Amino acid sequence: MSGRKIGEVILDLKNISLSFGGVKALQDISFDVREHEVRAIIGPNGAGKSSMLNVINGVYRPQQGEIILRGEHFANMNSYKAAKAGLARTFQNIALFKGMSVLDNIMTGRNLKMKANMLLQAFWLGPAQREELEHRLKVEEIIDFLEIQHIRKTPVGRLPYGLQKRVDLARALAMEPQILLLDEPMAGMNVEEKQDMCRFILDVNDQFGTTVVLIEHDMGVVMDISDRVVVLDYGKKIGDGTPDEVRANPDVISAYLGASH
Amino acid sequence: MFYRENGQFKTSYKADQQIFPIPQDRWVILAIVVFAFVGIPLLVDEYLFRAILIPFLILSLAALGVNILVGYCGQITLGAGAFMAVGAYASYNFLIRVSGMPALAAILLGGLTAAAVGIVFGAPSLRVRGLYLAVATLAAQFFWDWAFLRIKWFTNDSSSGSVSVADIELFGWTISTPTDKYLFCLGILVLFSLMAKNLVRGSIGRQWMAIRDMDVAATVIGIRPMYAKLSAFAVSSFYVGVAGALWGMVHLGSWEPAAFSIDRSFQLLFMVIIGGMGAIAGSFFGAAFIVILPIFLNQMLPLVGSLFGLEVSIALVSHVEIMVFGALIVFFLIVEPHGIARLWSTGREKLRLWPFPH
């Protein structure tokens, strides 16, 4: 990877515990994410990976622990605060706005940056129109970047799965996030689509300097593109380090392959 | 064949973001609007204005409001009739209690009052959705039905419970003949439709649709459900309230609370469902379907009967009218669950490629 420099800790999670009734989804998990790095979260099914992402961007509220984002403590993270603080995410089972076109979906990602009030919008007066055009320009850059020009006006419901995943990423990128959370960006894709998606993730990381936190099941992909990996199993952290360290970790091996007792 | 985009290239995003990016659409719509303003008043008699055209315009406006809420923001409502009533009675009270109040201002203030009431009765949408929300909005209907019947202050202590207003005046133009009323309502409808279109294609419209389609993803993007839902309730109730004010003060002239009963709420919801949820044009199609079709059936049935040599009594006509109307609603919903507006847009898609299938 080119001139990318991994910086200070940008996101620090301390002693996060989350439970749903009696189910302990996450138990006392701590890890950090450094600026500009690609950080992977892996683990078997039900390990709590998606819950972890949901805690980071405020969809779930952990019973214990705190989130420190660029030195700022967030005891009560919620989705709105997370979005304001520059966190964007994509979803495991695509959560696009089905009734809207690709363009509108991505434009929705610009929502927080659009300020014109309702009256101006109703009459499509100067500032509202200007704003719409400015943001359209930005959105078109993202459309070019992800190579989805040809489907700009298509309703997302009509798109094949691989392209929907790409639109999901485009919508997250439209927020110009500092940290991008990707929940299984390559699930259900064929090799070619996976390659494209890897390229996009690395390009985002490289060109925009976006920090990436991703969950992925494809170990080849994870080991290739991530700088550091954290491993969860049954809501506990069992490994943390570079791909090579994690690969050699006996706990991780036993979680994935089973160990003889 | 004539409806093609070949060779029409957009060279700026501004050109691409117009309301009607295809010139043919633009000209047709413009022609329809000009015809509605100039042609129809020359061709149509008073009965048609009073019985069909004015109700069609006003109910289109109300359906537009309901569509913003139900079609664009995905929040179901059964209280539209109540918000029409609030608009009507509020503008009536503004008109008679504030001396020198211009009628247009009273109508708009009626709409704003309805918007405020809409926000209050929309608050349950933050907690409940779907059928439960429908029941919660039904509360608005029952509450306002009761309030306008029982609280005498709203009806200016009128002993019969009905209120009436004189012909309203707009910058020296007294709106008294059906043609005047038609033109006034048409002007408001055109302006409000344009505003609605601008809202739904702008950032607030995208927020509404995002909440409708996938609320978790919407909140993750930074859309606040409270703001999005309540703003949809406010805008929707504003439209419905203005429609109610027009219905009372321009169309009826004098009215009782029964004019805005629960039937009206259902009727407006049907219009939106049949016309097409999430489509501005759908509101017009739905209103046309519900206002014009029964009258059309009413006129046609005796003719059809006489073809077969049958004498059709008036009672039979009205019964068959309701049956045929109900059957048509079912038929439309089976053939095209997304409403007439979807049929219309599919038709246009086909026309663009005609005579080729792909």
ipTM: 0.90
More confident residue, A41 or B154: A41
A8 burial level (CB within 10 Å; 0-12, 13-18, 19+)? exposed
Contact A227, A38 (CB under 8 A): yes
- A152 at interface of B, judged by CB pairs closer than 8 A: no
Mean of the per-residue pLDDT values of chain B: 87
User: What span, in angstroms and rounded, lies between the C-alpha atoms of B121 and B137?
Assistant: 7
Strands (E), B141-283: 163-164, 168-170, 173-175, 254-255
A91 is a domain residue:
no
Q: Which two tokens stand for residue B85?
A: 């009533």
Please check whether residues A181 and A226 belong to one and the same domain.
yes
- A179 at interface of B, judged by CB pairs closer than 8 A: no
User: What span, in angstroms and rounded, lies between the C-alpha atoms of B314 and B299?
Assistant: 11
Q: Which of B17, B213, B235 is opposite residue A97, by nearest beta carbon?
A: B213
Give the angle subtended at the CA of A139 by the CAs of A134 and A140, to the nearest 5°: 95
A116 is a domain residue:
yes
Q: Which residue of B has its CA nearest to A115?
A: B203
Residue B163 pLDDT: 85
pTM assigned to the model: 0.90
Please check whether residues A125 and A78 belong to one and the same domain.
no
Please check whether residues A81 and A185 belong to one and the same domain.
yes
Least confident of A1-15, A79-93, B43-57, B266-280: A1-15
A92 is a domain residue:
no
User: 3-state DSSP call for residue B169?
Assistant: strand
Span B191-215, average pLDDT: 93
Q: Which of A156, A175, A194 is the last residue of a domain?
A: A175
Span B17-23, average pLDDT: 80
More confident residue, B232 or B168: B232
Residue A253 identity: I
Please check whether residues A124 and A238 belong to one and the same domain.
no
Range of the domain at A18: 1-86+177-261
Residue B199 pLDDT: 93
- Domain count within chain A: 2
Please check whether residues A101 and A132 belong to one and the same domain.
yes
Please check whether residues A107 and A222 belong to one and the same domain.
no
Please check whether residues A181 and A257 belong to one and the same domain.
yes
User: What span, in angstroms and rounded, lies between the C-alpha atoms of B72 and B79?
Assistant: 17
Q: Answer yes or no: do A133 and B198 touch at CB < 8 A.
A: no
Residue A1 pLDDT: 47
Number of alpha helices (DSSP H) and beta strands (DSSP E) in chain A: 10, 10
Residue A260 pLDDT: 62
Residue B116 pLDDT: 96
Please check whether residues A24 and A126 belong to one and the same domain.
no
Least confident of A20-24, A38-42, B71-75, B334-338: B334-338
Residue B6 has pLDDT above 80, yes or no: no
CATH number at residue A244: 3.40.50.300
Please check whether residues A3 and A73 belong to one and the same domain.
yes
Residue B207 pLDDT: 94
Q: Where in chain B are the domains?
A: 19-261
Residue A261 pLDDT: 59
Q: Which of A155, A175, A195 is the last residue of a domain?
A: A175
- B206 at interface of A, judged by CB pairs closer than 8 A: yes
Residue B98 pLDDT: 86
Span B121-143, average pLDDT: 89
A232 is a domain residue:
yes
User: What span, in angstroms and rounded, lies between the C-alpha atoms of B346 and B354?
Assistant: 12
Please check whether residues A256 and A218 belong to one and the same domain.
yes
Residues of chain A with pLDDT under 50: 1
User: What span, in angstroms and rounded, lies between the C-alpha atoms of B161 and B333?
Assistant: 39
Q: Which of A131, A149, A175 is the last residue of a domain?
A: A175
Please check whether residues A110 and A166 belong to one and the same domain.
yes
The pLDDT confidence band at residue B157, using thresholds 50, 70 and 90, is confident
Q: Which residue of B has its CA nearest to A55?
A: B220
User: What span, in angstroms and rounded, lies between the C-alpha atoms of B185 and B177?
Assistant: 12
Please check whether residues A14 and A71 belong to one and the same domain.
yes
Q: Which of A84, A97, A121 is opposite residue B204, by nearest beta carbon?
A: A121
Span B333-338, average pLDDT: 81
